[in-house]
Chains A and B, each alone.
Chain A
């Protein structure tokens, strides 16, 4: 049985609809995802099988209620797993592509949950970057020049991550109705 690894798939398909469509394309080519876990945003492993029509759904739930899993499972969705707070569901289908979100309000709410998570991440990295620069330039107390240089570089890295996340937020916003 052959397997294929995909690195940083969740970073290349940042909007939930992007990830879903990408996974469905893989399934149509016969590459099936058995499970996702905490590190699957970095590495996903697919096994080769018959081409299949799957509908994938990504749903961010930080603290789901007790009936979250049962509502999806009873409706025929298979839980593929979760990475961080993102649950991944799928179901095979023939005919019309099924949806887990069937009205505009909840489609946008789903998108807003992803958008909010990215905004919080940007804010954390911006604050972290600012704190590192303040420390590096001596505003938070004395330190030797080696430590100050490390703090400044950490500020650069944190700021760069925040900048990288901006187009992610824009992409999610642009696909808010999908």
Chain B
């Protein structure tokens, strides 16, 4: 899973629209990651197509998304993989 996908899934543990994802990730990473609008829009479409997120509601302009059970499982597996990497990485120091 790419870093972009990880952060988008992580953000969508609570309901968000596309721009909300951009702002949340920017704040979470202290500005290190500023996702582009095209990247977020494209990624949300792919994640929804794969069943990892779902549309929850719409207003006149925005669509809100939320992670699904499958998405949560995938996110958890990825977090475990990263945690394992971190444990090994600490041995280097």
The residue in chain A whose Cβ has the minimal distance to the Cβ of B42 is A106
Q: Are A74 and B19 in contact, CB atoms less than 8 angstroms apart?
A: yes
Binds B, one of A42-50, A62-70, A124-132: A62-70
Number of interface residues of A (CB under 8 A): 23
CB distance from B12 to the nearest CB of A (A): 14
The residue in chain B whose Cβ has the minimal distance to the Cβ of A68 is B41
What number of A-B contacts does a CB cutoff of 8 Å give?
72
Q: Are A103 and B37 in contact, CB atoms less than 8 angstroms apart?
A: no
- List B contacts of A68 (CB < 8 A): 41
Q: Are B38 and A66 in contact, CB atoms less than 8 angstroms apart?
A: no
CB distance from A21 to the nearest CB of B (A): 17
Is B90 on the interface with A (CB-CB < 8 A)?
A: no
* Pairs across A and B, CB under 8 Å, 12 listed: A65-B41, A67-B17, A67-B41, A67-B58, A67-B61, A71-B40, A74-B19, A100-B39, A101-B36, A103-B3, A105-B2, A105-B43
CB within 8 Å of A: which residues of B? 2-4, 17-19, 22, 34-43, 45, 58, 61-63
**Smallest CB-CB A-B distances: 8 pairs:** A74-B19, A71-B18, A100-B38, A67-B63, A102-B36, A75-B37, A70-B61, A106-B39
